[in-house]
C-alpha cells in the first residue's frame, strides 16, 4: 500500500477530529457546528472557503502552482449529515445528542476529505483547481441538488466530480469502483385503499379494506416477477400497513407505504405505471377504490466510464490489483447521483473492514450502515485521503 507519508503522519489528528464530529452529530441542513469546524480547518490551512450553498454547505478552493490559470478543475465531495437514530455504542466518542447518530460514516467522509485538503494546500504540486465540496443533507434531504440549485457548478466551474463512501464488510485496505449504475434510484409510494367499514361479524355488509390491501401487497410482486425483463433490476418493498382501530370492526380505510428501487428510468416508468394499474384494478375488483401517490426521489448513481477507469487506475497505483475490487451495485440510494447527472465522475467504495475496529459490546462483525452499533474505521483516513490527492493530481495532469 503506497500511502502519502505526510498524510499518515497526521492520521491521529484526523482521527481525533473525526471522533469529535461523531460525538456531535447534526441532521440534514442543521450541520452548523460541523460546517464551522470544516471552515475553520480549511481557513487555518490557507484555503479560501465559500459558505451558504445548501444552507450549511462549505466549498474549499485549492489552486495549484499555476493559480488555477489553466482552467482545469475537478470537485471532490464529502457528505456531513448524521441520521435520526439512537446510538447504542458506549465508547468515549459516542453521540452526545439523543436520537442523532453518525450511523453512515459521514463523519469519516468529512475527515478523509479534510486530510486530503491539508496536503493539497501544503503541496500544490498540480496545475488547475480542486474544489472541496462539503455537502449537507445526503440522508433524504437531497443536499447535493440543493447546492446545485444554489449555483454550485456555476460559481465553481469544474469538468468532473468524484465521491466516495465507506463500505462495511469489504476487507480493510481495499477499494472498489466500476462504470455504470452503482446505486439505485429511490422512490416512495403510498396507496390508500377506500372500502366500506362494517361490523367484523357481518363482513358481507362492507368492503374489507384490509383484505384488499393484503391482496395488493402480493399482487405488486408480480410486477417484479412477470412484467419487467428478468435481467432488469427492480425492487418493490411494502414496508408499512396501517388500518383498523378495533378488533371487531372491519376498517373502511387501509394504507400501504413502501419503496421502489431501480437502476434505469425505463424500468422505473414501467414499475410506476403497473403499480398504479394494479392498485386501481385490484381495488375495483373488490368494490373498493384507492388513492395512489408515487414520489420519485434520488435518481440512480451512474459512474461515467472514463472517470471510473481513471479512479481504478489511481486505486491500482496505491493498492495493487488484489485490493482493487469490482464495485457490486447496491439498491441503496445516494444524492451524489444529481451531481453525476450534471458532470462526468465516479462514486467509489472504500472498505470499512470486517469490524475489527469496533467495540464488541454489541456483537462482532462489520456492522452495516444505518445500524445503532456502527462506527467508522479510522484506519481508512490515510488511504481515503491519499486516494483523493492522487486522483486530483492524476486527473489534473490529463
81 catalytically annotated:
yes
Q: Which of 81, 87, 107, 208 is catalytic?
A: 81
**380 — phi, psi (to 5°)?**
-75, -25
Alpha carbon 46 to its chain centroid, in Å, reads 30
138 catalytically annotated:
yes
Q: Which of 31, 79, 107, 138 is catalytic?
A: 138
**12 — phi, psi (to 5°)?**
-65, -40
What CA–CA distance (Å, rounded) separates 97 from 101? Answer: 8
Where in the sequence numbering do the catalytic residues fall? 81, 138
Amino acid at each position: 500500500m503506497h500511502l502519502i507519508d505526510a498524510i499518515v503522519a497526521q492520521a491521529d489528528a484526523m482521527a481525533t477530529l473525526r471522533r469529535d464530529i461523531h460525538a456531535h452529530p447534526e441532521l440534514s441542513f442543521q450541520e452548523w457546528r460541523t460546517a464551522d469546524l470544516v471552515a475553520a480547518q480549511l481557513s487555518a490551512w490557507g484555503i479560501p472557503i465559500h459558505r451558504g450553498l445548501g444552507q450549511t454547505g462549505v466549498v474549499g478552493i485549492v489552486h495549484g502552482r499555476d493559480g488555477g490559470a489553466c482552467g482545469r478543475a475537478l470537485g471532490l465531495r464529502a457528505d456531513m449529515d448524521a441520521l435520526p437514530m439512537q446510538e447504542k455504542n458506549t465508547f468515549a466518542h459516542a453521540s452526545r445528542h439523543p436520537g442523532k447518530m453518525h450511523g453512515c460514516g459521514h463523519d469519516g467522509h468529512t475527515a478523509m476529505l479534510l486530510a486530503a485538503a491539508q496536503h493539497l494546500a501544503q503541496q500544490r504540486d498540480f496545475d488547475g483547481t480542486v474544489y472541496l465540496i462539503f455537502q449537507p443533507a445526503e440522508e433524504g434531504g437531497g443536499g447535493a441538488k440543493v447546492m446545485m440549485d444554489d449555483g454550485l457548478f456555476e460559481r465553481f466551474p469544474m469538468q468532473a466530480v468524484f465521491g466516495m463512501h465507506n463500505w462495511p464488510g469489504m476487507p480493510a485496505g481495499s477499494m472498489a469502483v466500476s462504470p455504470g449504475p452503482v446505486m439505485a434510484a429511490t422512490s416512495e409510494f403510498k396507496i390508500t385503499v377506500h372500502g366500506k367499514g362494517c361490523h367484523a361479524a357481518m363482513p358481507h355488509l362492507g368492503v374489507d379494506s384490509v383484505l384488499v390491501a393484503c391482496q395488493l401487497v402480493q399482487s405488486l410482486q408480480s410486477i417484479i416477477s412477470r412484467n419487467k425483463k428478468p435481467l432488469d433490476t427492480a425492487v418493490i418493498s411494502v414496508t408499512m400497513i396501517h388500518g383498523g382501530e378495533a378488533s371487531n370492526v372491519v376498517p373502511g380505510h387501509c394504507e400501504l407505504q413502501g419503496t421502489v428501487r431501480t437502476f434505469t428510468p425505463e424500468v422505473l416508468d414501467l414499475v410506476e405505471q403497473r403499480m398504479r394499474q394494479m392498485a386501481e384494478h385490484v381495488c375495483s375488483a373488490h368494490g373498493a377504490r384507492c388513492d395512489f401517490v408515487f414520489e420519485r426521489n434520488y435518481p440512480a448513481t451512474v459512474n461515467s466510464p472514463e472517470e471510473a477507469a481513471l479512479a481504478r487506475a489511481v486505486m491500482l497505483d496505491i493498492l495493487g490489483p488484489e485490493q482493487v475490487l469490482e464495485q457490486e451495485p447496491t439498491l441503496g440510494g445516494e444524492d451524489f447521483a444529481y451531481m453525476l447527472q450534471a458532470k462526468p465522475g465516479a462514486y467509489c467504495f472504500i472498505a470499512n473492514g470486517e469490524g475489527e475496529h469496533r467495540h464488541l459490546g454489541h456483537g462482532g462483525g462489520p456492522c452495516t450502515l444505518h445500524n445503532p452499533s456502527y462506527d467508522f474505521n479510522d484506519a481508512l483516513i490515510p488511504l481515503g485521503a491519499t486516494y483523493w490527492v492522487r486522483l486530483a493530481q492524476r486527473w489534473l495532469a490529463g
